[in-house]
Structure formats: C-alpha cells, structure tokens
Structure 1
Amino acid sequence: MKKKLLMVMLSLIFMTTLHAENKKDESSKIKYVVKGPLETLAKEPGPHIKKIEALADETWLNLGKPGADPKWGTARGRAWTPKMVYSEKVKAVILCATGVHGFVKPDGHYMDDLWAYDVQGHKWICLYPGANAKTLKLKLDKNNFEVNAKGESIPVSYLSHGYHNLTFNPDLNKYMIIYTACPWWKKVIPQRAKWLGMKPGEKSGITKAGKLNMNTKHPIFYDMNTGKWERRFVAGKGPGPRRFSGILEYIPSLKKTFYLYKSGVWFYEYKNSSWEKVEAKGLPKHMAKGDSISCFDPFKKLIYVLRGPELWSYSIQAKSWTQHKGKNAPATIGSARYGAGNSASVTFDTQNKVLVVCLKSYFRDNKEKKDPLGIHVYDPETNVWSKNVVPLPPKTKALNNPRWTACYLPDLNVHLYHAANDSRDNGQMFVWRYKKKSK
C-alpha cells in the first residue's frame, strides 16, 4: 500500500513538473502582439542585416538614411538626447525628444513626436506625429493631465530634450518617459493656454502652466501592445516636483525603474504606480547637477553615470556610489548637454561586458581638448580604458556637425547611432562593433 502511494505521489510530481516545463516552453514562444503603427514592422530581416552580422571588430558601417514612413516621413535629429532605447523582442528602436525650441515641422505638427526605427526593415515608423499646432484640442482630467474627448492621454510638449529621462520596460512592453516640461509651445500652440486655464499674459514655464499637472513624479508611457499613450498618477511621494535632466534605467531583476533625481535615488513600482526613495551614499554634489549620461550593467547590477571627466556607479545591492578612476582614463568623457549638444553617448555592451563611449565633441570644461574624438571603451573588470580610440566615421556633405543618439543591439552585437542635425530630417544610421566574441 505504501509503495503504491509513493508511486502515485512520484507520478504526480513528475506530471506537475512536466506541465510546468511545457508551460515554460510555450511561454518562451509567445511573441509580442503590437498594435497601431508597429504592425507595419518588417517580418523578415533585410539585406543590411547580413552586412551587420559580417562586421569586423572595431569597425563602423554606414547603413545610410532609413526608409521613410509613407505618411509622416523620417525622424529628425534631437539635440541633448544621447539615448535611444531598443526592444529586442519587437526589433524596434524608440526615438523621442524635442529639438529646436518650439519647432513646428513642415507638416504642421509640433516636434513632440515619437518614432520607431525598424531594425529589420531599416525604415522609420511614426508612432505619434506630434501635436497638430492648428487643430489640437484637449481638456484636463481629474488629475489635471491632458486628454482628448474620449479621455485618452495625449501628452503635449512633454520632453524638453531627452537627456537620459527615458527607458524601456521589456516585461510590460512599455516605453517610459519622465515628464520634463518644455515651455516653448505657447507661440505655436496658443489655443492650449485656454484648456490649461492660463490667465491672459501668463507665460508658460518649466514649473507652471495654468492648472496643468507638471509634477515629474507622474510618468508617461507609450504602450507598444496597444499603440496608446498613458500618464500614470502617483498618489504618494516621488521625484520632483520640478523637472530635472536625470538618469532613468529599467532594472529587469527588480522589475522596477531606477531614477536619479539630483542626488536622490528613486525606484518606480509599476504594479501600484508608486515611488520609493532608497539610501544612496557617496555621490558628490557636482555629479548630481544633471545632464549626465548612463548605462546599466546587468551582470554587476551597477548603474554607471558619466559626467565631465568622471565615471561613477551606483550599486543596487550595496546602495552606495563608487568612483572608477580607470587606467588610461580620458581627460573628458562628456555629457548629454555640453559641446555641440550630445557631446557623448554611452552604451553597455552585454556581449563583451564593457562600456562604449562615443565622444563626438568636447565637454565645455575640457579646455585643453586632449582626447581624440571617437569610440572610447572601458572594461569594468580590469578598470582600464582602451588606448586605441576608434575615430568617428568620415564626415559627409549631408551631415554637418550632427547630433548622435545611441543604443545597443544585443542580438546583433552592435552599437547603433542615429546621426542627424538638430530638427532636420537628414539622419543616417551607423553601427559599430567592439568585438564579435564575448568574454
């Protein structure tokens, strides 16, 4: 009897385990179902993908100008926006932010638009064309967020340059933006002042515009599963209220988003839309002024922050900051703002576990300009910067002092760069590979 009972129990355990494994296998095969403009993503990789796969170590490849969206054209260059984000499962790179202050595109839309670069199709897809400067008509909801007649969220002039105030949550398939009030809209969208409840002659600012809720703690999302915007209300405390050019990084192991607001470290919890401020010792005041660039190391669980000549990291486990004074460190690393805008970008190479800094102009404080422009690589394991600096791609007539916006494509093991002049549609895509083989 006991032997039969034991056999039954073992069988049940085996079947439960098998069911769980099968369920796990089934879930791994599930593809993201995107709606809206992303439904036009290429289903198969184009011929440029083979060129990328064949790319040699420490080599550039100019992919040229991406194909245009059939209705809205191509994405434009963004000043002070060194960061794009990549959805590996969707195979799309998201680009967003203001360019020239108060810029209205030739199609009549304000440049608070949102774009996806189709990696497999080498083409642009317009996710949101921006506010129609003449016909836009919205209202405020109970939280004083802007919505349309259906009550759907429609953010306006919401990201005054991108800085590092954006990230991507692959678990929810959502693009996240820290509300960064842009005050340059009033001359080109004057009717907005009415539904915001602004008084006659009242100026639009970065802290107040009528009754509009401009508090930084209420984040904005673009849901790639639905193709719609969302601004989520946070009842409790959070970073803000004033806008800040901070650092936003999604942390997959925590399923939370890290945000550096001045010297304060915050984590956003998606489930209940709340912020938690955590301990953060060691970051000096000059590193908490904003305009920094950053990347996340998923292996060491470190968030690297670079500003001027310094490199620091925040340890999620130790809840403290550490400075990295690496061998062969460049005299300047750059930031999101200084130089000719987007003076540098940084991406983390997960295949080789290194930081890749693209220095395209000099940091304002670096008067001697010792460092060559180009790709600088830092190895956290050895605490050494590479002596060999790979120059930037040769200049072309089409690109005159462009802004560089970057992200890393782990599935192709290349760093992707959109180079375009501020608010112009002359952009080209470049990729650069550090090394084919991972460590």
Structure 2
Amino acid sequence: MEIYAHWLDGEHLRVSGWGPQDTSLAVMLKIQALLGHTVVLSDVQLIDSHAVQALFETEDFRSFVRGCPSFLRCTTAAPAGSDPFALVTTGLHRALEPGWLSSSFDTAEPLVRLSEAVLERGEANPGPLFARGTALGARYEEGGVIRRRLEAVAWTLHHFSREAGVPLGTSAVTRPCSYRDVLEEVAELPGLPGHDYAPVERTLAYLDEHVEPSNRHRRAVLFAQLDATDPPHRTAMWNTATQAWNAAVQRTLGTDGASPRSLPKAADIGLYLGRPTDALFEPAGPGATAPAEHGMAPGNLAAVAELGWQDIAKIHQDEVVTRRRDAFQAALRAGDAAAADDALPALLRAVRRKLPASGERPGRLAWAAAETGLGLAGAGLALGTGETLGLVGPALAFGLAAERLLRGGRNRSHIVNTLMTAGGRGTWARRGEA
C-alpha cells in the first residue's frame, strides 16, 4: 500500500519535539519497508523535513532507495506531463513565496538560497551546487551542519529527478482541499468526542476571524497571526491545524492509507479521515512531551534499530520474506481482513528470523490480538517497550487491526489502551487523565 506519513512533515516534527537525533524515526521507516509499504512524500517533505534530510545525508540510505526504488514515491501537484525535475522541484517554488516559513531550519534563508541555485542550474546534483567558487560553496562551510542538511535536500531532489525507476506522480485532485475544509468536515462528524471537538471548533473560529479566505490554505499565514495575537489555546490550535493540514495533503496525494501520529493538545484528525494503516501515540504521563524525555536513546532501540539500510535491503529481498510480504500487501489492497490477519503473522515470523539478537533478549517483532468493548476483534503489530523494539516512549499500532480498532469508535484512547494492554505492552491513560 502507498501511505502518507503525517509525522514526516517538517512542522509536525518541529512541534512534537522530534529532533534529527531521534533514531526512532528511521526505525519506523525501516518497519514500513519490511511490511512492504510505499511511503509517499509531498513536495514540501522533499525539502523541509529534517527526518528526510537525516536519511539522505547517508550513503547507506541513498544506496537502499536506489536498490529498492518502490519504497519511496514522490507525488506533487505539478501539471500532468511535467518532466521529473519540474515535478520534484515544486516545493522549491513554494519556498520562494513571500512569508514562507521553514520547519527544519531556524530561518527560511538556507532553503531560499538552495531553491534559487537549483532552479537556476536546472539540476540538483550537490557536487556542482556546492563546488568551490559557487554561491552556496562560498556561503556554507564544508562539513557545517547547515551545509550537510542542504546537501541532503539536494541529494533528495537529485534522487527523485535523476535516478532510473523512481516512482513519480502528479496529484489527480483538481481542487485540493485546504486544512480549513478538513477542520469543518471533522467538526460535523457525529459522535466526535469533546477532547477533539474543542480544539477543532476553536481553530475554526480563530481562522474565520483572523485569516482571509484566500489564505486559509497557508499555514504560514496562520502562524503569523497566532504569533501576533498570542491567543489562549494557541498550542492546541496550531497543532490541530498542523494535523488538518497533513490530512489535506494526504487527500491531495491520493494515497491508499496513512500513518498518523498524535500531537500535544491537538485533535487526532488523521484517525477520522482517510485510512490509517498504523498510528503512533504518546503515552500520557507527567512531563512526557517528547521522545527524548522518555529515554528513547539509540542504545535503547533493539533489533530493527541495529540494522543498517543495507541489512534492511537484504531482508526485503529475501525470497521467503518477499512471498509473505506480497501476500500481506495483496490482502491489504483487497481489503480482505481475514487474509491480512493470516498473512501478517507469517510475514513477521519470516522477518523475525532475520533479526539480530539485542542485548540479553533476541530482537523480535510482537504480535498482539485485541478485542474492544465495541465487539471489534483483530490482530495488530504493537510496538511499545523494550519488550519489542526498545521503544520506551511512543507506541506504534500497525495493520488492519489498527484501522479497525482505531476507526471502530471515537474514544481512541480506550481503543489503543485495549490494543496495547492485550499485547502486554503496558497501560495507556485516557486523554486528560494522566
């Protein structure tokens, strides 16, 4: 399945406190690769996601995506029939719009300068772009943090515009919806719980009062207004708008499903719209606001975290894993829940046999069956603590079970709590009860 990962959006990463040093982002992508999903990137994610930058900084990952080109896909709103370079550089034109804000750099200036250089040269090969005597080479010191990240952006654009066999596409949506449209749709859903309705309604009211209709598709305009007025519930409104913006992008890209993630004080809009193939939730606890504060250090990540991208490629290409993965993906595409429930454990067993031992415990992927009070049953891949992949903080629920359980009712805290408890992964508090 093709999925849109909400948590790869640069602003989503920034407000949630996930920094470039958080290796858990790469772990989640490795799991997506092992399950056979294709991760679809938007034009903005190509240039302004520090997670994508961290990946493309390394030759290990660049080699992986060259060898497994189906793992990443780029879809943008460029006109149909655009050549690859025009298609993948639509985000650079956005960066040149007045008032555009960068989520991965302290200011927009580095990406503005890179955008100008790439568009002027008509190619994104970082070697010529940063060669001695060029504007970028003279301005950004070799080996410096900003230069390394800009070079990673250039590598990303170069990969999608020049590598053979890389999946590219244009959105079939003729009139993309705005994040304001998404908020309005969610506000009208029957049975929307109060902890999600309140931030949605506040954000809608603020937009209608402070942002002109012609600017309600631009997050930067909303951010400027929030910065100027500093209203009550500012964090909840901004984070809810970020969730809605990503739901709107997902629709524009037209993916099969999504990988949403909760944000502090925000409505979890990604679980109400589209088709969540998995979901990432933070445990509710005192002072638990960012992964780093949960002790999620590289040494705590086991099994998959220890694998390089070339190791992932070997597992990905293994004959047995490939056969199991194809069966699982076929079931997902067909919407056959029973077949998916049968195929996913077989795939996990095949993958598990390829994982290295970690510390005193063998690294493993865990399978959890869960049943909610709503009578919904299903199996799901639940990743929570050191008992699975060492993820001390956020937990990840995968598979059709995640979709059935998460979409089966509006009280998702109870549903996720049930899933994680049934899998022996610990207790999850309801929102607002921590």
Fold equivalence (TM over 0.5): no
> For the pair shown, which has the larger CA radius of gyration, 1 or 2?
1
Q: TM-score, normalized by length of structure 2?
A: 0.26
Q: TM-score, normalized by length of structure 1?
A: 0.26
More strand by proportion, 1 or 2?
A: 1
More helix by proportion, 1 or 2?
A: 2
